[in-house]
Structure 1
Amino acid sequence: KGGEELLRTIKKCLASTFNDRVIAYRDEKKIAHLKFALSVGVIKMVRSDLSSSGIIFTLDTETGFPDVVLINSIWGIGEMIVKGKITPDEFYVFKPTLKKGFKSIIVKNLGRKTRKYVYSEKGGLKEVAVSSQKQLKFSLNEEEILTLAKWAVLIEEHYSGKFKRWMPQDIEWAKDGKTGELFIVQSRPETVHAPKTASVYQEYEIKTKKKPVLTGIAIGDKIGIGKIRVIPDVSKINQFQKGEVLVTKMTDPDWVPIMRLASA
């Protein structure tokens, strides 16, 4: 929307370095609050609002298994994934055979892509419904899945070579709906499994057999216990106490400070 909007957005980027989530991150990493640098990259906008976008991990995010590429994909702008508002399509590609030239897609899971973000004529983003027909379609075809996987492997190999150690990547990508082109818009080190040095697989099991009160899709593989605390929205997070079980409708990165205190 022009130069003025660009300058406003750059100021928002600078200001975001002092939101609760970033302050908590610096405290955790022992980085002084005034001893850091920030740059803002400006590129031509990829029209993923007319197509799809998502995230790539160059390992299995649940187990840390290094020989797969995991691609998450949704319709529209990728912010919907970042905020955890919908379940994306998932594609697993096996690296060893991919490198030998084989079409190595080993898993395809259709997500629940009911909503998407598009650009608003007034500036910013707006949330709209995805048509029932598109909800039943994968948001990437086979050729696009393999192309993104190959790029992801090259990026991982580049940074692993540069830093002389395995450096799995957390990559953001977008597809331009006008040109059909795929773009890598960001890559950064994966921070959950990469720092681990032990090659041990851990499995957790509840010994007592009880009837479940609630079930759902797990995003981790451990077991937590504690007093339940229902927090309706992020403005009430000050009510949360360390060791409690957090229950809420949806979380996004703004919840990270108390998620670190939660037992589950």
Structure 2
Amino acid sequence: MPKIYSERTKTVVSSGKKFIIGYFLAGYPDEEDFFNVLEIVEKNAVDICEIGFPSKNPYADGQVIADIHAKVDFDTAIDIAYWKRIRESTGKPIWVMAYYEDFVATGIYRSFAEEGVFDAMVIPNTDFATRRELQKEMAPFGIDVVGFASPAMAENELAKVLESSSLVYEQLYVGQTGIAQSDEMYHPMLEYTKQYPQVICFAGFGINSYEKVNKVFQDGFHGAAIGTELVKRINISMNSLEKFLRELERAH
């Protein structure tokens, strides 16, 4: 049976409560204001911080998130010293969301693991076999590698993911982030997932309100990942972000 290696993550997902994962890009809205974001997150509804590792080519992201990658101070936001400061700023689990080319192929992930600045890797653009190898490598560091599933997967592919992953990010639709879709697409995937009660599955893509968070919780997901809507709120103001997170408290 797959296990969860990160003690911080284990504490969140084994509590029996539904959890919220919030996506934020390292260094956005700027090098210092990012820590104001973390301060707000620390006292509000987000249980796990999914922190984006900046990319110069965020080709799989929707326009809202792709745009902010171009606005960060790239050199600062990928520097290990900056991430050490991030780790010191929150006691919540930190999951690094990164493109394979930027984080893994460069070897940066290894130095980050050695310094203990994150709890899980979320690498959407790599294959099943690579994720399994990464998990073997990261396990001694107490770091998890999140599995991925989507409604487009054949049943045998989905079974492979669920049999080998303790944490699975289930995309509600196929496509870029931040685009609203019909909720009918994901139900067969979710129903199949329920055959694997040991797997912690959480929903992502198109979740932008308390109502949608509540819906995926009622459907049976253990958690919900929110990204684009949080970025939109940051773009308005810190007050807007905090107000939205307070609204989400009702879903816990």
TM-score interval, smaller chain: under 0.3
TM-score by length of structure 1 reads 0.24
**Which has the larger strand fraction?**
1
**Which has the larger helix fraction?**
2
- The structure whose RCO (Cα within 8 Å, separation 6+) is larger is 2
